[in-house]
Amino acid sequence: MNLRHLRLFYTLPFAVFVVTMTGCDDDDVDDILDGSIIPDVTLSEEVIDVNEPLETVSVNGSKTLTLDVGVGSGAFHYPDDSIDEFYTITDRGPSIACDESAEVLGVENLCLDENGAVDENGKIFPMTNFTPTIYKFNINTGGLIGKKVGYNVIQTIKLLDQDENPISGLPNPLEATTTETPYNKNGNKLEFDPEGVDPEAIIRLSNGTFWIAEEYAPSLIHVAANGRILERVVPNGVGKDLAAANYRVIEALPNILTKRRLNRGIESLAVSPDEQFLYFIMQSPLANPNDDAYKNSRYVRLFKLSLHLGDLDSVVGEYVYIMDEPQTFTADNTTKQSDVKISEMVALDTDKLVILERVIRHTKLYRVSTLDDATNILGTEWDIEALEPSSPALETLSNLASIGIIALGKTQVFDSRREISDLDSQIEGLALLNSEYVAFINDNDFSKENTTTRITVAPIAKQLNQ
C-alpha cells in the first residue's frame, strides 16, 4: 500500500455544502463555521510530518543541535474525541549518552566520572529545563472542504508538581534500583531530581485525568487534567528515594520491578474500555538476577491493575509475555535478543490487548485475546528477586511449561515488513482511531540526529480484532 498520500475528506460534498449555505441565516452560518454542524471527517491513508521546533543548543562551544520536540513516546485516542484527535507524550527531553558524545556532538570525553573515565552510566542533558509534556493532535482538514494542512496541536499540558510548578526530566537519586548521572551541555555534573520523570506511555480517562508510564523508578503517574501530578506509584522500596518530591509517592508495585534494566522500564500502558482495569508491560526482560538475564531472556512481565473511579485500587495480575527472536525482525539484521523491545500497547476490550514489538526498522503487532489461559505469577516465588546467579529466576528459565507456567498466547496481526515497508523507525506510539484506522507515531529522539517525527494513519484496525 502507498501511505505517502496525505488525504482526509469531509463526507459532505462541496456542492451540497454551497447550496446549504445559501439557505442559512447568519446564526446558521456561524454554527457551520464553528464546526457545530460540520459532519464528521472520514480518515484515509496518510503520512504527516510533524515539526515542533524546540530550540538550538550549542554544546560545549562546539557542535550546535537544532532540536525538535520528541512528541512520539506514546499515543492514545480517547474514544469520545473526534476520530482525528489523539494524545501523545514526550519523554524526559533531549539526552545523549556520555559514551556517544564524540559521535553525536563531536566532543570526546565530555563527561567523566570520578576516576577520569567516560561515565558509562552518564547522560548529557543539553536542555536541563525541559518539562515532559502531553500533546493533543488534530489531523483534520484545514478548511471547510478538503484543504489539507497536515495537523494541528490543539493542546499542550506540561507535567507539574503539587504546587503546579513544572517538573524536569532529570534522573532520580535512586538507591533501590539503578540510575544515571546527569551532566549539562558543558559536561558538568548536575544534581539528581527526585521529581524528574521519563514518560513513555499515556492513556486518558473519562474523568479527564491521565495515567502515564515512566522508566526511571519505574512508575505509573496519575495526572490531573491540567498536568498536576496527583500521585506517582512506584515499586515497594523506592518511595524513600523520592521522599523529597513535591507530589505524593505511593509504594504499590511489586518490588521485583526494581530489577528493570536501565532505560528499559515501563514502556507501554493500556486501559480497558470500561476503565475498570489498567495494564502495563515492561519494555524488556528484567535484569534478574543480572544483566546476562536481561540480555538473553525473551520473557517480559505484563501486569493488570484494578481501578476505582480512575484511582489505582490494586495490582491483580502478573503474566509472562514471550517476545519474538531477533532474527525474525528481518529489516534490522540483528541476532541480539536485547535489541527486541516492547514499545506500545492498546486494549481492545477487557483482557484483550494489542502489543507492539520492534527492533528499530521492523515493527510487529500481536494480539493477546485473553489473560485467563495464562498463569498469574503475582505474589509467587517468581516475584522474589534472585540474589545469586544460581537462584531461581523467571528470566533465566529455559522452559516455562516444565515448571507449570503458561505464558500468554499471542497472534500476529500486523507486520510492517510486509504491509507498510516504509513505516518509520522507532515506532513508539499506537492510537486506535476508530474501527478502521490506527495512527502510528515514531520517537525522533528530539531530532538530535535530524530524525523527523511522522504520523502514519493506516487502515489496519479491523485486522487487529480478526
Q: Which helix (H) or strand (E) holds 307?
A: strand 299-308
What's the domain count of the chain? 1
The share of the chain scoring above pLDDT 90, in percent, equals 79
Q: What is the DSSP letter of 100?
A: G
> Is 300 part of any domain?
yes
Q: Which pLDDT tens digit goes with each residue over 378-414?
A: 999 999 999 877 788 999 999 999 999 999 999 999 9
Q: Which amino acid is at 461?
A: A
Q: Which pLDDT tens digit goes with each residue over 13-27?
A: 333 333 444 444 555
What are the Cα distances from residue 112, in Å, to 120, 122, 174, 189?
9, 8, 20, 9
> Is 44 part of any domain?
no
> Is 433 part of any domain?
yes
> Is 219 part of any domain?
yes
Backbone dihedral angles phi then psi of residue 28, each to the nearest 5 degrees? -65, -40
3-state SS class at 261: coil
Asked if residues 428 and 456 have their Cβ atoms less than 8 Å apart, the reply is: no
CA 408 to chain centroid: 22
pLDDT at 37: 45
Q: Which helix (H) or strand (E) holds 8?
A: strand 8-10
Q: Highest-confidence range of 18-32, 92-106, 413-427, by mean pLDDT?
A: 413-427
pLDDT at 109: 87
Asked if residues 10 and 41 have their Cβ atoms less than 8 Å apart, the reply is: yes
> Is 278 part of any domain?
yes
pLDDT at 450 over 60: yes
Note down the domain range covering 317.
49-54+64-84+131-169+197-465
Q: Which helix (H) or strand (E) holds 30?
A: helix 26-33
Question: What mean pLDDT is predicted for residues 336-360?
Answer: 98
Helices (H), 357-452: 416-419
What are the grid coordinates assigned to 151, written together?
Answer: 495537523
pLDDT at 39 over 50: no
> Is 341 part of any domain?
yes
Q: Which pLDDT tens digit goes with each residue over 301-345?
A: 999 999 999 999 999 999 999 999 999 999 999 999 999 999 999
Asked if residues 232 and 215 have their Cβ atoms less than 8 Å apart, the reply is: no
pLDDT at 105: 85
pLDDT at 13: 39
Mean pLDDT of the chain: 90
Which of 55-59, 68-72, 250-254, 261-265 has the least mean pLDDT?
55-59
- Of 15 and 265, the structure prediction assigns the larger pLDDT to 265
pLDDT at 12 over 50: no
> Is 40 part of any domain?
no
What are the grid coordinates assigned to 209, written together?
Answer: 485525568
> Is 115 part of any domain?
no
36 band by pLDDT with thresholds 50, 70 and 90: very low
pLDDT at 145 over 70: no
pTM of the entire predicted model: 0.90
Sign of CA dihedral 162, 246, 130, 236: negative
Hey, how many other C-beta atoms are within 10 angstroms of the C-beta on 136? 18
Place of cell 508510564: 213
Sheet holding 427-432, edge to edge: 46-50, 453-458, 438-442, 427-432
pLDDT at 466: 84
pLDDT at 156 over 60: yes
pLDDT at 141: 46
3-state SS class at 387: coil
CA 136 to chain centroid: 14
Which of 69-83, 112-126, 294-308 has the least mean pLDDT?
112-126
* Residues 436, 461: Cα–Cα separation, whole Å: 5
Sign of CA dihedral 90, 418, 345, 326: negative
CA 259 to chain centroid: 20
- Of 43 and 384, the structure prediction assigns the larger pLDDT to 384
